[in-house]
Structure 1
Amino acid sequence: MEDANTRIDTTVAHPARRYNYWLGGKDNFAADRESGDAIAGALPAIRTSAIENRRFLRRAVIHLSRKLGISQFLDIGTGIPSAGNTYEVARAITPDARVVYVDNDPLVLEYSQELVRGSAGAVAYLEADLRDPQRILNDATLRATLDPGRPVGLMLLAVLHFVGDAEHPYRIVKDLVSALPAGSCLVISHATADFMSPETAAAVDEAGTRSGVPSRLRSRAEVARFFEGMSLLPPGVVPTTQWRAAAEPQPRPTPAEAAMYAAAALVR
């Protein structure tokens, strides 16, 4: 079997490793750091944005677990596992929670193996791309880990902005959601330029494209469109810093510092 390390291109930035860099991690390469610094040059609050997205993940998993009784999660675009990941947060509330992680970076696979080995079948990792939802949904490991008859928390955090309009992001989300039973919940965080000046938005776009990690910053209305046909949970589509964040340290970062929207919705 091919070693994942031989398939990692360290000369090209990858979103998972760049995100790890912004969070202060060490599992990244020079290309990831260069890309991260280029974005930070255009948007100095990007590290705050990454941290707040991580906090949103924790609050969302807690809410789905405690309030909605969801005990299994499909986390696509998970990134490199770190403290406070979906499995860790869910299992602290529901000891028999199950999680399937999906990412397209071989390095994530390497770092996920320890988590998988100690999980006794409660957590699994798929090396797959969000752009191929059928590959994910039909995977035997996913089917063996998650019960298709019980609600699932579908986590798409900070990943959809890497799917361009020509790659049909709304169809991808619809395909994934259509496979979930009623009572499931879709959770999304998504980068936005709504709180940026046109000059800043253009600089962020240029920096991402130049470093090989282009993104599509979407408006609030465009993010809300992902939830069509579902029942949005209060407070709706809001900056990550404002989603059920009353218990977080105050004052909260501004929407401009968050630079992301967040929302969750029930699948009917």
Structure 2
Amino acid sequence: MTEIGDGQRPLNTGTAHSARVYDYILGGKNHYEADVAAGDAMIEVWPALPVHMRANRAFMLRASRYLARECGIRQFLDIGTGLPTSPNLHEVVQAVEPGARVVYVDNDPIVLNYAQALLASTPQGRTTYVHADMRDPDAILGSPEFRATLDLGEPIALLVIGMLHFIHPSDDDHGLLRRLLDPLPPGSYLAATIGTADFAPQEVGRVAEQYASEGMPMALRTHEEAAAFFAGLDLVDPGLVQVHKWRPDAGDEQVRDEDIAMYGALARKPR
């Protein structure tokens, strides 16, 4: 079953948006001139950016498959979904468990406009979409779509992939994440990736400047700062590492450490 929680929304195509820039750099088709210009400018200052973005998405696919196959998780809340790109989260987890349920959340109208056509669940499972911002956890957790799709009596995997570097400390970054995690039952999981300049500070710093010039300021974090998001949770081996080092598959793209500016981890909420 596939459900959408809202209708079409008007698009601001004259301003770059992180989800559409991501789509462009990954080779997608759902973007506009402003997104192309922004993406090209970022790649010019850091040519490894496409490699970095592919590694971030590959982490999401591996982590979600691990959650479904090894942890028995059947419910998923994906914050900052981005534009649908196959394989999507629901395709990965429903291949393991056809009855898995997924709630996608994003605040970009273009994601909403494409979701109806591209997010098709298995008959046994369920997918739905909530048009909301991570900065408003109550709008997400209180939405009819969330409440009708996920059961707070059973563990839920919260995925926050490629989002936290757009959430600044001034936005109460840790508080926002806790407000999403706290209502989830023990045995739930957090999978997150967090931008860093630890490995290529000059190049990544220039990318951050480009994002800021497009109205998308970033907060890049050290390993210690990234680890703080998982405080009180039980990290799954190998812990918090660059995303390409988290349980890589044999066929994964081979990359250099300096080409990856993202930490990633999976952690369990203790019982």
TM-score, normalisation: structure 2 = 0.93
Tell whether the 8 Å contact from 1:241 to 1:254 is kept in structure 2 after alignment. no
Residue 4 of structure 1 aligns to a residue in which SS?
Answer: coil
Cα offset, 1:246, TM superposition: 4.4
Given that residues 133 and 176 in structure 1 are in contact (C-alpha distance below 8 angstroms), is that contact kept between their aligned partners in structure 2?
yes
Residue 136 (structure 1) aligned to one of 131, 134, 140: 140
2:172 maps to 1:183: no
Q: Does 1:18 align with 2:34?
A: no
Structure 2 counterpart of 1:262, one-letter code? G
Contact 1:77 1:159 in 2 (8 A): yes
1:228-239 pair list within 5 angstroms: 228-239=231-242
Shift of 1:201: 3.7
Find the aligned partners of 1:191 and 1:266 in 2 and give their Cα distance. 21
Specify the alignment match of 1:112 in structure 2.
115
Which digits, 9 at most, give the CA deviation of each residue in 1:115-147, with x for residues without a partner? 456555700000000011111111111010011
Q: Distance in 1 between matches of 2:13 and 2:258?
A: 31
1:168 to 169, 172, 175: 172
Counterpart contact for 2:165–2:194, Cα < 8 Å: yes
Once residues 120 and 252 of structure 2 are traced to their aligned partners in structure 1, the CA distance between those partners, rounded to angstroms, is 35
Match runs of 1:1-268 below 5 Å: 4-5=8-9, 7-116=10-119, 122-197=126-201, 199-249=202-252, 252-268=254-270
User: How far is 1:202 from its partner?
Assistant: 3.2
What is the Cα deviation at residue 3 of structure 1? 6.0
* Deviation of the 1:249 alpha carbon: 3.6
Whether the 8 Å contact between 1:162 and 1:215 is mirrored in structure 2 is: yes
- 2:258 aligned counterpart, secondary structure: helix
CA distance in 2, matches of 1:55, 1:202: 23
Q: Deviations over 1:173-217 (max 9, x none)?
A: 1111101101111000111100013x3243222111112222111
Give the AA of the match of 2:229.
Answer: F
Paired positions, count: 264
What CA distance in whole angstroms lies between the structure 2 residues aligned with 1:220 and 1:118? 36
Moved over 6 A (4+): none
- Counterpart Cα distance in 2 of 1:115 and 1:98: 16
Report the more deviating stretch, 201-210 or 125-134.
201-210
- What SS class does the counterpart of residue 194 from structure 2 fall into? strand
Percent identical across equivalent pairs?
A: 41
Structure 2: runs of 5+ lacking an equivalent: 1-5
Equivalent-residue separation in structure 2 for 1:116 and 1:261 (angstroms): 27
2:252 & 2:108 partners in 1: Cα distance?
Answer: 33
Structure 1 residue 107: Cα displacement: 0.7
Name the SS of the counterpart of 2:86 in structure 1: coil
Shift of 1:55: 0.9
In angstroms, what is the RMSD of aligned CA positions?
1.6
Alpha-carbon distance in structure 2 between the residues aligned to 1:267 and 1:114: 34
> Partners in 1 of 2:152 and 2:241 — Cα distance?
30
Cα distance between partner residues in 1 of 2:177 and 2:23? 25
Q: Do 2:84 and 2:119's aligned partners in 1 also have CA atoms closer than 8 Å?
A: no
How big is each residue's C-alpha offset from its partner over 1:236-266, in whole Å with a ceiling of 9 and x where there is no partner? 110111000042346x312221211110100
User: How many Å separate the matches in 2 of 1:232 and 1:163?
Assistant: 22
Contact 2:98 2:122 in 1 (8 A): no
- TM-score under structure 1 normalisation? 0.94
